[in-house]
C-alpha cells in the first residue's frame, strides 16, 4: 500500500485556548475515566527526574476509543516553583506528543500548560458531579496560581456559584487573584487570612497549592463539604491533614498513584487510614459501579494527582478541533484519524 501523506500539527497554548471550552474538557475527562473503568486505557507509572530547583514529570498513556481507534500521548512537564519570581516564567512548562497507536504516526505536538491546567480542573468538576451537594454554591480556593484560575472557571461554567473565598500564603497574590476573578465573573470574591477562614465560608473547596504541610485540618471543614485536593502531585507535597482524610469519604483518581504521591499517601503513613478505607476511584463513579455522595452531611475528599489518561483524552479532543479547521494541514490531507466516524 502506498504511504499516505501526513502532517504533524504544532499547537501552541494560544491556539489550544481558542479551540477548547471548559465543557469540552469536561466531556473529555468523562470519556477518559469511562475508558479507564472499561479497560480501554493503559497507564504506565510516571517518571520523575529531580533537580535542585525543580524537576520533570513524564506521564504517558494509551487510550482506545469506543469505536476501536487507539491513541497514545506522552507528556513531559518541567515543574519549577521558583520560576515566576526568579525568571518571570511559568511554574509548569512542557509538551504533549499525541500519536496514532495503529501506526505510530505523530499526530500533534502541543503545549502542555493549557491542557494540564484545564484537564485538571475538569476532573475536579467531574468529581463534583458525583460528590458535591447539588445546592453547594460557595466556592473556596486555596492557592491562587494558574491552576486556581482554571479551577474556578471550570466550576463557574458547570454550576451556579454564589460567592467565592480565596487564600494564598502570598497575601498580595490572593488579593490580585480576587480582584481579577471578581471582574471576570461578576462575583463577590473575598481574600482570606488563612485556609481555615476559607473553609468556614464554603461548601465547595479546591486546594491547589504547593504546600508540603497540611493547609486544612480536621476541624476546619463543615459537614456536607466537598474538597478537591489537587496540589499533592508529588510525594513531598501535602495539603490535607491525615485526621481530615480519616474523617471524610475519600475518592481518588487512581489508588496506585495516590498511594505514591497523593494526600492518601500521607494519611496512610500517619496510620490515620488504610488503603482499603478509600471509598472509590473516580472511574468507578463514572461507570456507575460505585455510589457517589449518599448523605448531605458527608465530607467528601477527591484526592487528585493527575493521570496520563486525562492528557491523552484531552489531547485527542484538542487534535480533533485543530484538524477540523479548514486551514489545518491535517484537514487538507483528510488525515484526521480521531474524527468521529
Q: Is 218 helix (H, G, I), strand (E, B) or coil?
A: helix
Q: How far is CA 329 from CA 103, 104, 158, 248, 321, in A?
A: 19, 18, 33, 50, 13
Active site residue 75: yes
Sequence-distant (6+) residues with CB within 8 A of 212 are 236, 237, 238
Among 59, 75, 237, 249, which one carries the catalytic annotation? 75
- Confirm if 136 and 226 have CB atoms less than 8 A apart: yes
32 within 8 A of 41, measured Cβ to Cβ: yes
303 backbone dihedrals φ, ψ, rounded to 5°: -90, 105
In whole angstroms, give the CA distance from residue 249 to residue 205.
15
The C-alpha atoms of residue 140 and residue 328 are separated, in whole angstroms, by: 40
H or E element that contains 108: strand 106-111
Among 58, 54, 116, smallest CA distance to 85 is for 54
What is the C-alpha separation between 296 and 27, in angstroms, rounded? Answer: 26
C-alpha distances in Å from residue 270, one per residue of 216, 252, 266: 16, 18, 6
Other Cβ atoms closer than 10 A to 315: 31
Contact status, residue 131 vs residue 252, Cβ threshold 8 Å: no
The helix/strand/coil state of 234 is coil
Catalytic residues: 75
Amino acid at each position: 500500500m502506498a504511504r499516505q501523506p501526513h502532517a504533524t500539527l504544532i499547537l501552541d497554548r494560544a491556539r489550544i485556548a481558542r479551540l477548547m471550552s471548559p465543557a469540552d474538557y469536561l466531556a473529555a475527562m468523562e470519556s477518559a475515566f469511562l475508558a479507564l473503568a472499561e479497560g480501554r486505557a493503559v497507564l504506565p507509572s510516571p517518571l520523575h527526574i529531580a533537580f535542585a530547583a525543580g524537576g520533570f514529570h513524564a506521564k504517558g498513556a494509551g487510550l482506545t476509543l469506543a469505536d476501536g481507534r487507539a491513541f497514545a500521548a506522552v507528556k513531559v512537564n518541567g515543574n519549577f516553583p521558583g520560576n515566576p519570581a526568579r525568571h518571570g516564567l511559568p511554574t509548569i512548562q512542557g509538551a504533549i506528543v499525541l500519536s496514532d497507536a495503529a501506526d505510530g504516526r505523530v499526530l500533534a505536538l502541543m503545549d502542555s500548560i493549557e491542557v494540564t491546567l484545564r484537564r485538571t480542573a475538569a476532573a475536579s468538576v467531574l468529581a463534583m458531579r458525583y460528590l458535591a451537594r447539588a445546592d453547594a454554591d460557595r466556592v473556596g480556593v486555596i492557592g491562587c496560581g494558574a491552576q486556581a484560575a482554571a479551577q474556578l472557571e471550570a466550576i463557574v461554567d458547570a454550576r451556579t456559584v454564589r460567592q467565592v473565598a480565596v487564600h494564598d500564603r502570598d497575601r498580595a497574590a490572593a488579593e490580585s487573584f480576587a480582584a481579577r476573578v471578581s471582574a471576570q465573573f461578576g462575583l463577590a470574591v473575598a481574600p482570606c487570612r488563612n485556609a481555615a477562614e476559607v473553609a468556614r465560608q464554603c461548601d465547595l473547596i479546591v486546594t491547589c497549592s504547593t504546600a508540603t504541610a497540611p493547609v486544612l485540618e480536621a476541624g476546619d471543614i463543615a459537614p456536607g463539604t466537598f474538597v478537591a485536593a489537587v496540589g499533592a502531585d508529588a510525594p513531598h507535597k501535602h495539603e490535607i491533614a491525615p485526621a481530615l482524610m480519616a474523617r471524610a469519604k475519600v475518592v481518588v483518581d487512581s489508588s496506585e498513584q495516590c498511594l505514591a504521591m497523593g494526600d492518601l499517601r500521607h494519611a496512610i503513613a500517619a496510620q490515620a487510614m488504610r488503603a482499603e478505607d478509600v471509598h472509590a476511584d473516580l472511574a468507578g463513579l463514572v461507570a456507575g459501579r460505585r455510589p457517589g455522595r449518599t448523605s448531605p452531611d458527608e465530607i467528601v475528599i477527591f484526592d487528585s494527582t493527575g493521570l496520563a489518561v486525562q492528557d491523552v483524552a484531552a489531547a485527542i479532543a484538542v487534535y480533533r478541533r485543530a484538524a477540523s479547521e479548514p486551514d489545518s494541514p491535517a484537514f487538507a490531507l483528510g488525515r484526521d484519524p480521531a474524527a468521529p466516524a
